[in-house]
Amino acid sequence: MRAFFNPADRPEIPSWLLLAGMTISVFLAQYGHAFSVDPVRALPAAGALCALGAAIVAGRTTGRPRLAAGAAAFAQMTLFTLLGVVLAYAFAANAGDLWDGRLAAADRAIGFDWPVVRSLLDMAPPVVWLLGFAYHSLILQMIVVIVVLSGLGKFDTLRTTVCAAIGSGFVTILISGVTPAMGNLFDPADYLHLWPSVAWQEQGLITGLRDGSLRSLDLTMLMGIVSFPSFHATLAAIFIWAFRAVPRLAVPGGGWAVLTIVATPVFGGHYGVDVIAGLLLAPPAIIAARRLTRPAAASPIGSASPAQLRRPRATRPGPTPRSR
């Protein structure tokens, strides 16, 4: 029992508390039009969480901190994904007027000309495939970050990364509740090599949430619908910071994440201001997470064992009296 409740695992508590806050928010946001969940389709998610819970217990009771830390990180990010998407759906069902006109106007004011960008990109198929892979590999990046950091015993960086991801994601979803948008849409039929963006594919989903025709959730087919800010950009920026903890992965991992950010407007269907806002959200999220997950400094008395406290302190021998 003492091994299971290891004081070293206390830095994980802020992430669990954020998840608890998201759970409460999900119930509150559904007031008036609660969603139903397909129980059969929920089995894979439930099975994954049970397996991760068993891994956490096994790691802590058998003295394998790397297993426990990695399983806890995967469990927290899995719960965050489920809660975050359902919360975003609930906000979309309650949302007012769409903000697409304002976001598009902000892009034009900054100087983003997306039709020109997409036309140039359509002329370079290899770049399309490279950026498309980078955008759709964010979950793979998360897996790599968790496995590498837990495997190398970099628990402080791992817990900060997970806490920053959950905290920034929660904030992003809350902001999106008052700034709903369909996204920076374009018809893929107008291009030879560009494929449909996520925003283009989600049009029916968002419409169904807003008009009330969609109230049954398939947990195997949940999709992110947040436009502003872009959580894809925020999470990729957090991964750039996390990869720096592993010198051999700092450059390739950081470059991978940078490509993800560059690809986000086109393949995610985001506005430029979505990405900018997402990037601005990452640094404060990391700073806050580092403070929240910082291990408490143990005092010498608090860190000493009972045997050490009972052991008499050695005394320095005094000067030998001179004989007369």
Q: How many CB atoms lie within 10 A of CB 189?
A: 7
Domain chopping of the chain, boundaries: 9-294
Whose CA is closest to 256, among 148, 166, 143, 131? 131
Structure tokens at 36: 């139903």
Cα end-to-end span (Å), the chain? 64
Q: What angle do CA 67, 69, 72 make, to 5 degrees?
A: 105
pLDDT of residue 303: 39
Contacts of 191 (CB under 8 A, 6+ apart): 118, 119, 122
pLDDT of residue 119: 95
pTM metric for this prediction: 0.86
Block means of pLDDT (10 residues each) for the chain, length 324 residues?
49 91 90 78 91 95 94 96 92 89 96 94 95 95 96 95 97 94 94 93 90 83 88 97 95 96 95 97 96 66 42 47 42
User: How many Å apart are CA 177 and CA 50, to the nearest integer?
Assistant: 31
Residue 300, CA distances (Å) to 285, 297, 303, 309 in order: 32, 9, 5, 10
Q: What is the 3-state secondary structure (H, E, C) of 76-125?
A: HHHHHHHHHHHHHHHHHHHCCCCCHHHHHHHHHHHCCCHHHHHHHHHCCH
User: How many Å apart are CA 121 and CA 318, to the nearest integer?
Assistant: 83
pLDDT of residue 260: 96
The answer to whether residues 179 and 106 touch, using CB atoms and an 8 Å cutoff, is no
User: How many Å apart are CA 83 and CA 89, to the nearest integer?
Assistant: 10
pLDDT of residue 9: 55
Question: Phi/psi zone of residue 32: left (φ > 0), alpha (ψ -120 to 50 degrees), beta?
Answer: left
User: How many Å apart are CA 150 and CA 246, to the nearest integer?
Assistant: 11
Structure tokens at 266: 């086109």
Whose CA is closest to 244, among 178, 171, 145? 145
